[in-house]
Amino acid sequence: MPSEGKPARRRGTLVGISSTAWEHPADRGALTALRELRGFDEVVKAMSGMWNERAWRLQYLGTAIRCGDRRHPRVHRLLAEAAAALDIDELPELYVLQSPRLNASCIGMAKPFIVVTSAAVATLDDDELRNMLGHELGHLRSGHAVYRTMMIILTNMSTTVAWLPIGSMVLRGIIAAMHEWWRKAELSADRAGLLAGQDPSAALRVHMKLAGGGDLAEIDTTAFLEQAADYEGAGDLRDSVLKLRMTAPMTHPMPVARAAELRRWVDSGEYARILAGDYPRRGEEPSMSTAAKAAAESYREAFNRSQDPLVGLVRNLGDGVSAVGDAVGASARRVRTWMDRPAEPPAHESAADDNPPSRAQD
């Protein structure tokens, strides 16, 4: 669905931009730890040997349309525009797959490629589709495709070893951890999509269409963001537990939550700073310790900001425990001060006070 009647937006090229500019702190912290882990490269290579990337590419080559100048030229052009904004020289292969789902993905290990569904091509206008393709380019530049492919392999492995209780439990734990990371990786890619399209309203419309379909004629943007706030804070403890159960096996956050998170990032001023040229360049990536501190701070801020009833309860309990701890600490300090006092002289040696206070009064 091309954008008709709209003037072309001018998009600047973010020269030399590093993927760390758009990576969510929690995502970046996990990625840095994985990259620095001793022997992790060997694990990646082993996983690559277990997964036939060539066969998967052949599958799409035989069942989908590979984009180019003579095959889906509009989609190919939008990919090139998104890549230019992110200063990406080499375009990945791009396929359009027949599917009624509004979706796109970046998969592969040695040479990742992008797949977008026919529903996305038909439903999204140029600005929205450029945003979605920029999202997938963000995954590619951040190295997410490699780890996502690993997650797919591990998920498939978990079904083959389900009869082994210990092996199945270990794999499930690993997969659950990777799902938590992948949900943060989606937030990173959302930021990359916005930087590729440089149109916040289009980015928000993508999430609205993911949630409610293609017709936004009767959907107010402000009301959609209010719905996101209701999702994050409404209900009671039962709703909080239900949300945990729902999201634990999911690879993507809920569309309304993604929209709210992206809006917060824009409101923080970080998006405007990057467009103004204030961003890390390639080769200026932060150290592992810096990334870990940023990840911890991100989780702390999210915890303090959250309106979720369960988080609020934990926060209140934490405040109560802290108050009790402060009281106990103060009592301990008083006892320690009393114990450290010098011994009092016998009464017959003291002329200053005929009736010194007893220790019981101290």
> What residues are labeled active site?
136
Backbone angles phi, psi at 7, to 5 degrees: -70, 145
User: In angstroms, rounded to a whole number, what is the distance separating the alpha carbons of residues 16 and 280?
Assistant: 8
User: In angstroms, rounded to a whole number, what is the distance separating the alpha carbons of residues 14 and 85?
Assistant: 6
Report, in angstroms and rounded to the nearest whole number, the Rg of the chain calculated over CA atoms: 28
Tokens of 58: 């052949």
DSSP assignments along 264-333, one per residue: HHHHTTHHHHHHTT-SPBTT-PPPHHHHHHHHHHHHHHHHHH---HHHHHHHHHHHHHHHHHHHHHHHHH
End-to-end Cα distance, the chain: 82
Q: Count Cβ atoms below 10 Å from residue 196 Cβ, excluding itself.
A: 30
Vertex 129, ends 124 and 130: CA angle to 5°? 155
Q: Where are the alpha helices (DSSP H) in the chain?
A: 25-36, 40-50, 53-63, 73-85, 118-123, 126-141, 144-160, 165-197, 200-212, 221-233, 237-247, 255-267, 270-275, 288-305, 309-340
Backbone angles phi, psi at 24, to 5 degrees: -60, 140
User: In angstroms, rounded to a whole number, what is the distance separating the alpha carbons of residues 312 and 201?
Assistant: 31
User: In angstroms, rounded to a whole number, what is the distance separating the alpha carbons of residues 253 and 84?
Assistant: 28
Q: How many Å is the maximal CA-CA distance in the chain? A: 110
User: In angstroms, rounded to a whole number, what is the distance separating the alpha carbons of residues 48 and 150?
Assistant: 8
Q: Do 104 and 252 form a contact (C-beta atoms < 8 A)?
A: no
Side chain identity at 49, as an amino acid letter? G
